[in-house]
Amino acid sequence: METVEIDMIPSDEMRAVVIDRFGGPEVLTVRTLPVPETKPDQILIQVKSAGVGIWDQLEREGAMANLYKIQTRFPVVLGSEGAGKIVDVGEKVSGFQNGDSIYGFIWQRNPKAGFHAQYAAVNAEQAWRIPSNLTLEQASALVIGGATALKGLDDILHLKPDEKLIIVGASGTVGHLAVQFATRMGAHVFAVASQDDGVALAERLGAKGVVEGHTGDVALSAREYAPDGFDAAFLTVGGEPAEKALTAMAEGGRVAHPVGVKPPKIPSNVKLLPPYIVNKDPENMDRGLMDRLNKLIEAGPFQVHLDEIFSLDRIVDAHHALGSHHVGRLVLRPAN
């Protein structure tokens, strides 16, 4: 457990990223709000870093509210994952104390006061100690991508040691974590990545074979890596690279993808598994899944790759960056 020097809450106000309606990046504003109240089952976090992901864009646009059938109450403070240090502990909480560094998850709470702010009140059941081999900033961008990757590999594909696995989108938010989890689970990983920096990242993280998804010959490279075909495929993106990758699957090979990824045409000899959502509960992440995730990470060197870090005032730039090429994760660093 990492314990850090405590900063006193300077006032009852904080700066936060707020939306008052759904829409494009133009609805994002940074303004002053009250610091969230710490409820009995919560811990108050002084946010040091927070992940910025495609789910933040979908929440900003209203797609998440539609998915979970939520009548949103505005204003909404965005940010579903983040990390920082505890500055207040609810009276019903045990196992945490002021000064502890944690990472946590705030999903479709209504009204939502998320991690894209200087302070966030987190349900204690949705907070975890930062693995010793990760920095606080890396942990701030771990929960959603990590849980999505591990659930797909372990609970959906039931990946086994020595199986050959192809990961499409292997340098992205979910994919670069999946490369590491699958390797740690004993699989032989072939990665389809994006651009030279994506290829380099996938190689560095343990993929034994890598091809660039748009300029490389995906089908040929995959067949050369696994002449007898792949046992499983994990798609974090769809499109032409995924379609070409699936031509190298073995008879009866399994294909998994999370909700939101549109799979390409599937060969007749391949089994497409139902799309999955990482947390069906609109407020909570599965703690059993997170316990497995933390254990796997603690087993050896692990990296949450941070492509760019934005200040709170650059939140619009961060949302624009979600739609452009980047590898790994984007994070926001609130000023405290």
3-state secondary structure string, 223-282? HHHCCCCEEEEEECCCHHHHHHHHHHEEEEEEEECECCCCCCCCCCCCEECCCECCCCCC
Residue of 309, 313, 237 whose CA lies nearest to 82:
309
Query: 3-state class of 36 per DSSP?
Result: coil
Q: Is pLDDT of 327 > 80?
A: yes
Tokens at 89, concatenated: 């502990």
Q: Is pLDDT of 7 > 80?
A: no
Residue 96 falls inside a structural domain:
yes
Residue 251 falls inside a structural domain:
yes
| Whether residues 130 and 154 fall in one domain | no
| Whether residues 202 and 112 fall in one domain | no
Residue 197 falls inside a structural domain:
yes
| Whether residues 149 and 266 fall in one domain | yes
| Whether residues 125 and 166 fall in one domain | no
List residues bridging with 190 in a β-sheet.
166, 209
| Whether residues 321 and 224 fall in one domain | no
| Whether residues 118 and 38 fall in one domain | yes
Q: What is the mean pLDDT of residues 240-257?
A: 98
Non-local (6+) Cβ contacts of 129 within 8 A are 1, 2, 100, 101, 102, 294
| Whether residues 18 and 137 fall in one domain | yes
Give the rounded distance of the alpha carbon of 286 from its chain centre: 14
Q: Which of 272, 290, 320 lies at the terminal end of a domain, its last residue?
A: 272
Residue 289 falls inside a structural domain:
no
Q: What is the pLDDT at residue 336?
A: 65
Beta carbons of 238 and 263 less than 8 angstroms apart: yes
How many other β-carbons are positioned within 10 Å of the β-carbon of residue 175? 30
| Whether residues 251 and 192 fall in one domain | yes
Q: Is pLDDT of 5 > 70?
A: no
| Whether residues 211 and 321 fall in one domain | no
Q: What is the pLDDT at residue 280?
A: 85
Residue 280 falls inside a structural domain:
no
C-alpha to C-alpha distance for 325 and 184, rounded to whole angstroms: 27
CATH of the domain at 244: 3.90.180.10
Q: Which of 228, 249, 272 lies at the terminal end of a domain, its last residue?
A: 272
Pick 258 or 281 by higher pLDDT. Answer: 258
Q: By residue range, what is the domain housing residue 245?
A: 145-272
Q: What is the pLDDT at residue 3?
A: 44
Q: Which of 231, 251, 272 lies at the terminal end of a domain, its last residue?
A: 272
For the entire predicted model, the pTM comes to 0.95
Residue 132 falls inside a structural domain:
yes
| Whether residues 201 and 264 fall in one domain | yes
| Whether residues 247 and 214 fall in one domain | yes
Q: Is pLDDT of 138 > 70?
A: yes
Residue 191 falls inside a structural domain:
yes
Residue 228 falls inside a structural domain:
yes
Q: What is the pLDDT at residue 8?
A: 58
Please give the tally of structural domains in the chain. Answer: 2
Q: What is the pLDDT of residues 49-71, one digit of tens each?
A: 999 999 999 999 999 999 889 99
| Whether residues 133 and 156 fall in one domain | no
